[in-house]
A and B are shown apart, each in its own frame.
Chain A
Amino acid sequence: MYFGGSFSRGDFLFLLSGAVTTLSITLVAVVIGTVLGVLFGLIRAGAPWWIGNTLGAVLDVFRSVPLLIQLVLFNSFNSMLKLNWPTFTVGCICLGIYASAFCTEIVRSGVGAVPQTTRRAARSLGLTWRQELTSITLPIATRIVFPSWIGLTLGVMKDTALVLWIGIVELLRSSQIVTSRVQEPLLILGITGLIYFVMSFPIARLGNQLEKKWGTQ
């Protein structure tokens, strides 16, 4: 077997396959995090204080405990309880809940920033609570918190690197594997960083575009 040698096209493709895993985990985690975050955020913003505060306290745990610890614990529970979920699923759920804890506060602050008088004006026209929420509060809140949500998404993408600790070969793990063979850590980390950047940049740009569009309204 040949050890050492230069960075080859095969290595690059291997890194790209890791990048696909990173993107997949990011996508699933952000979807889970956003759906739960909107749900929890609305509860935090609208439900009686004791429900909202209890939920807030539970989510604070997920926000405060390092993600790495959550991943390892959740993965251990997965084995101990014989759930036998694939590690990919474990990674996605764990990151998704972690993201939802942050997304909840984003949604809560966005809903809170919609003036009460604007909501009243909508109700006074005969809109139901649900109609008011979907036509007035959520669209306005979305515009307000969109930059924070983009920030969360970019954060989750980078946090996916931690799932290598439960055995998922994503982009960072791929780069370690390649490094151990090629022995050019700086080059490979550089390339890996570049791939992360190439994945993040369009999301950030999309955010800017939408903000600009909404800003002209």
Chain B
Amino acid sequence: MIAIENVHKQFGALHVLKGVDLSVQKGEVLSMIGGSGSGKSTMLMCINGLEGIQQGRITVDGVEVHAKATDLNKLRRRIGIVFQQWNAFPHLTVLENVTLAPRKVLGKSREEAEVIAVEQLSHVGLKEKLAVFPSRLSGGQQQRMAIARALAMSPDYMLFDEVTSALDPQLVGEVLDTMRMLSKEGMTMIVVTHEMRFAREVSDRVAFFREGRIHEIGSPDQIFENPQQPETAAFLKSI
């Protein structure tokens, strides 16, 4: 379980998160929606400790992320994250992109890591591209590779930060399909997204972020059909 309690985050004078409370259960898919600057991406970065927090507490399966004694490198093995810019490692082949972390972080042999990588790359439909360098892939393929790269660590949680926002429209579908597949397999996912139809379809709950807080949270039906807050309704109408 991921538990977020009263989290505040500031970048200098900019108060990005103003007291966020949220918990995500194992097996749940939670979508975060909201305008840009509402704090949803920052929230995601705080969960695996890529960003520090000024106040509050985030625990992942009981481990406090921002406690001094926490080994973040160890915690991050269990939390996969995929970013908006797909961040392929350009000097490594597709296969090497995926085997890197299992080998370096988990200490697996090349053979073991390759078995895992081939399995995950097949899973996202990139079995034919093992020896190719990322620059030869389309954006959608690179993003699916990034998903396979995170999955190769067998994480308990997957975080997705606007993973389709930088893609050409015709490539969005293949990435969403991959995520759909993961949610069906029972992966615990937190998805920051602007794809409302997708959020509605795969989410167990949807959180609407506004001005650094969760303004409304509920089932997809509640949020999209019957929002309780006027700002939620206004946001959904605006996009």
Contact = CB atoms under 8 A, between A and B. Distances in A.
Contacts of A217: 90-91, 133, 135
Interface stretch (B17-25, B26-34, B100-108): B100-108
B149 interface: yes
7 closest A-B pairs by CB: A121-B87, A125-B101, A217-B133, A126-B105, A126-B76, A126-B77, A124-B81
Contact of B85 (A117, A136, A214): A117
B170 interface: no
Contacts of B74: 126
Interface in B130-167: 133, 135, 146, 149-150, 153
Interface string A125-139: 111100100011001
A interface, over-half SS: helix
A119 to B, nearest CB: 9
A128 B75 CA distance: 12
Contacts of A118: 87, 89
A172 B89 CA distance: 46
Contact of B104 (A117, A120, A127, A139): A127
B38 to A, nearest CB: 20
Interface of A: 115, 117-118, 120-128, 131, 135-136, 139-140, 143, 214, 216-217
Nearest to A128: B73
A140 B79 CA distance: 25
Interface in B69-114: 73-74, 76-77, 79-81, 83, 85, 87, 89-91, 100-101, 104-105
Contact of B89 (A126, A136, A214): A136
Contact of A135 (B80, B87, B100, B133): B100
A133 to B, nearest CB: 12
A132 B154 CA distance: 20
A140 B101 contact: no
B50 interface: yes
Max count, chain A CB within 10 A of own CB: residue among B74, B90, B146, B149: B90
